[in-house]
Amino acid sequence: MKIEINSFGKLHDGSNVELFTLINDNNLTVKITNYGAIITSIEMPDKTGKTENVVCGFEKLDTYLSDEYLGSYPYFGAIIGRFGNRIAKGKLEIEGVSYDMAVNNGPNHLHGGKVGFDRRLFKAETFQDEKQLGVKLNYLSPDGEENYPGDLDVTCIYTLNNDNELGIEYRAETDKTTVINLTNHTYFNLTAGKENILNHELELTATKMTEMVEQIPTGKIIPVKGTPWDFTTLQKINHRLTEVPMGYDDNFVLDNEKGELKYIGCLKEEKSGRQVEVLTTQPGMQVYTGYWNPELVIDGKKKFGSFSGIALETQHYPDSVNQADFPTTLLKPREEYNEKTVYRFKTV
């Protein structure tokens, strides 16, 4: 196993950005930049041994900064925070104090606001031992950033081992009670972009989901059995597309109240033989099939567009801050927020 560190360019303010390449002994390569803690690339072999990038991302920092990309922004590969997913109407109350958050997704607050963690520069350090290697990324979000209370010290630790497991661990502490819901927004396409993801197959342990109206939970937890959201047995993404023509953007309930690291699903693609298993300590997972992904012209070639990738965003439920019966997203001083997700890559 080895780590490579290279320059990835400069931000508009002149700050240097780095790219960290994690390589294990099985020809699995993960590239991560400290801008937005973004996974830019995951290269893995198919069943013939051909190694290709199986996530949506760019080879140049300038593309992540471009107006074309940010104009229809899909958050490719980024860490999302302070609060992943939506907060209804941007309204938040903590310990009796009301906060008005940026409304940046229809009538709602999305993914931490106008400039979330996905567009912040993290401090980075690499590490390696006999079992794994990785990069530790740190960001101090100051009190009042995007109108969230408290200085929030956030650490994201990416690890790669020879079991082909990519670990993402989140840690955070605050000096004032705040809310936090961190996730990673990597989009997988196991055909390496040759096709869209509608023929991918998905299996989830989740038997329930949060009932949603216009992307905001009603507060009810409902069964998936018999609905287009039933992936308790392996199903193609497009298995009931006539009923959900815009695909999926929904939160599945994982029955993981104890916060144990457990298996919750698998994404497969038959032609390549590639698959990704997901394990997490989080109580939920948003499955988003990328209907609104923009089509971009990269180096003269059209790329991405609708259904170009599927995001498996392990998380706390959307709008948890306004739903007393949902697992809490409050973080108080002297407490530590700690969650972990593992993506395990296989070729069969």
Q: Are the C-beta atoms of 18 and 9 separated by less than 8 Å?
A: no
Q: Tens digits of per-residue pLDDT, 84-129? A: 999 999 999 999 999 999 999 999 999 999 999 999 999 999 999 9
Mean pLDDT computed over 282-302: 95
pLDDT score, position 120: 98
Q: Which residues are catalytic?
A: 185, 313
Mean pLDDT computed over 159-164: 98
pTM greater than the 0.95 cutoff: yes
pLDDT score, position 257: 85
* CATH number for the domain formed by residue range(s) 2-347: 2.70.98.10
Mean pLDDT computed over 11-38: 97
Residue 184 confidence (pLDDT) above 90: yes
Q: Tens digits of per-residue pLDDT, 216-241? A: 999 999 999 999 999 999 999 999 99
Domain definitions of the chain by residue range? 2-347
Q: Tens digits of per-residue pLDDT, 311-348? A: 999 999 999 999 999 999 999 999 999 999 999 999 99
Confidence grade of residue 82 (pLDDT, cut at 50, 70, 90): very high
Between CA 10 and CA 60 the distance in angstroms is 10
Bridge partners (DSSP) listed for residue 4: 21
Confidence grade of residue 197 (pLDDT, cut at 50, 70, 90): very high
Mean pLDDT computed over 26-53: 97
Residue 135 confidence (pLDDT) above 90: yes
pLDDT score, position 2: 97
Residue 299 confidence (pLDDT) above 90: no
Between CA 171 and CA 246 the distance in angstroms is 34
Between CA 347 and CA 292 the distance in angstroms is 29
Confidence grade of residue 141 (pLDDT, cut at 50, 70, 90): very high
Angle at the Cα of 184 (from 258 to 78), degrees rounded to 5? 160
Residue 68 confidence (pLDDT) above 90: yes
Mean pLDDT of the chain: 97
